[in-house]
Amino acid sequence: MDIKMELEHENLKVFSKDEFTQQAIADLSGDYHVLLACDLSSRADDSERREYVKALVRSGVLTDEEMEKILAEESIIVVIPFHSQEIAEQTYRRIPHASHFVSMYLDGEVYSATC
């Protein structure tokens, strides 16, 4: 099973940088009110990327096993869908350094208020 299938089984969605388009956001927003998009793309250097993935593990979003699989990917965005903005904001606050790599989408639009 590849990392995309495995994470999507756990209610996480995985996209390459190129796949995470406005259309993909709109499609997911049709089913979920809020999306947290964690950009772990290769844009960040390796140590920074590792720190971001570890932040997702510390917050309970990912497991250690998933962390190793994600680190092996070149360019990846992990999307956590929510029906409730309140729960999404609580999750956002649990992620260390979230302001550096996590974006919140509310009904398909970037949510700019600080969580």
47 burial (CB, 10 Å; 0-12 / 13-18 / 19+) is exposed
As a whole number, mean pLDDT of residues 85-114 equals 91
Report the mean per-residue pLDDT for the chain: 88
Q: Provide the pLDDT for residue 4.
A: 63
Q: Which value, to the nearest 10 degrees, does the dihedral of the CA atoms of residues 11, 99, 43, 49 take?
A: -70
Domain residues of the chain, as ranges? 3-110
Q: How far apart are CA 62 and CA 6, in angstroms?
A: 11
pLDDT exceeds cutoff 50 at 1? no
SS3 110: strand
Q: What is the percent of the chain where pLDDT is above 70?
A: 87
Tell me the pLDDT tens digit for each residue of 46-83: 899 999 999 999 999 998 888 888 888 878 999 999 99
